[in-house]
Structure 1
Amino acid sequence: MSGLEQAYLAKDPEKTAKVALSVFFNIMASWNVRAKDQIVMLGKPAESTFYNWKKGKVSSLSIDTLERISYVMGIYKALGILFPTREQADAWPHKPNKAFNGETAIQFMLKGSIINLSDMRRYLDSQRG
């Protein structure tokens, strides 16, 4: 995380958390990802914590959670660049892919490790050229 990001988080971690979660939940809605799978992508917070976050009740997020959301945002953006329509971009995560041994991107990202999110982002960035 850059010094600028750290300074911003220190300045207003609650606002950062609320904005990050709002963007994350909007992306999850676009991709039609189930709540239990969203929990995995966020690093498996307690269910009660997750539902509080969905209601906007959050004072701060861990660096791990922010990093996970950042990867999801980057994946969403990359798909928007790679596909001519948002509908195609939002459908892609649910389509089987040879690059992931026939799994969908969602299945690959749901393996739970932040590395899977990082690998997905790197894969899409490589497809962009």
Structure 2
Amino acid sequence: MNAEQLLERPDTASPEAGRVALKFFFNVMALWGCTPAQQRILLGGIGNTTYHKYKKLPQVRLPHDTLERISYLMGIHKALRLLFSSSPDKAYEWVRKANVAPPFNGQSALEYMLHGRVIDLADTRRYLDGVRG
């Protein structure tokens, strides 16, 4: 594989990509104030053993589902940082505030995402992308 091919498509299945994704995930979870139980749900309902293994930030090939979930969370985080660029703390608070807009219907975005389905993460990201315009 030449350098041009490497630049076109990063190897998201590499163990290093898994470590980087997990590092991002745990940093955002700390900013959002998520409990270990909530984090396990957001990662797809993983077990305690896997969760504690991931917390050590190993170089690991993450399952596609886990990478997809973390990718949506990256998009959510980015959108919030752009929307609240002058006040990052508000970006972190937003996920916990009740929101009457669909798809949340009175729940916070975090409560909505904790239903545990990938579509809940996708809906949240889509909502924020729509707000951003």
102, 116, 121: which is aligned to 2:120? Answer: 116
**1:9 counterpart SS class:** coil
Q: TM-score, normalised by structure 2?
A: 0.88
Q: 1:54 to 1:81 in 2, by over 3 A?
A: same
Name the larger-Rg structure. Answer: 2
CA–CA distance in structure 1, aligned partners of residues 12 and 96 of structure 2? 33
Query: Deviations along 1:91-126, whole A, 9 cap, x unmatched?
Result: 100000001111001000000100000000000000
Q: CA offset at residue 58 of structure 1?
A: 4.6
Q: CA offset at residue 46 of structure 1?
A: 1.5
CA–CA distance in structure 2, aligned partners of residues 29 and 41 of structure 1? 13
Counterpart residue number, 2:3: none
CA–CA distance in structure 2, aligned partners of residues 116 and 94 of structure 1? 15
Q: CA offset at residue 16 of structure 1?
A: 0.5
CA–CA distance in structure 1, aligned partners of residues 105 and 12 of structure 2? 38
87, 90, 106: which is aligned to 1:88? Answer: 90
Query: Deviations along 1:35-90, whole A, 9 cap, x unmatched?
Result: 10000000011210111100123521011100000000100000011112110101
Identity %: 45
Runs of 4+ in 1 over 4 A off after TM superposition: none
Within a 5 Å distance, the mapping from 1:1-129 to structure 2 comes to 4-5=9-10, 8-10=11-13, 13-83=14-84, 84-99=86-101, 100-129=104-133
Q: Which runs of 5+ in 2 are unaligned?
A: 1-7
Q: How many residues matched?
A: 123
Q: What's the C-alpha RMSD, in Å, of the aligned pairs?
A: 1.3
CA–CA distance in structure 1, aligned partners of residues 129 and 34 of structure 2? 22
Q: Which has the higher helix share?
A: 1
CA–CA distance in structure 2, aligned partners of residues 59 and 81 of structure 1? 30
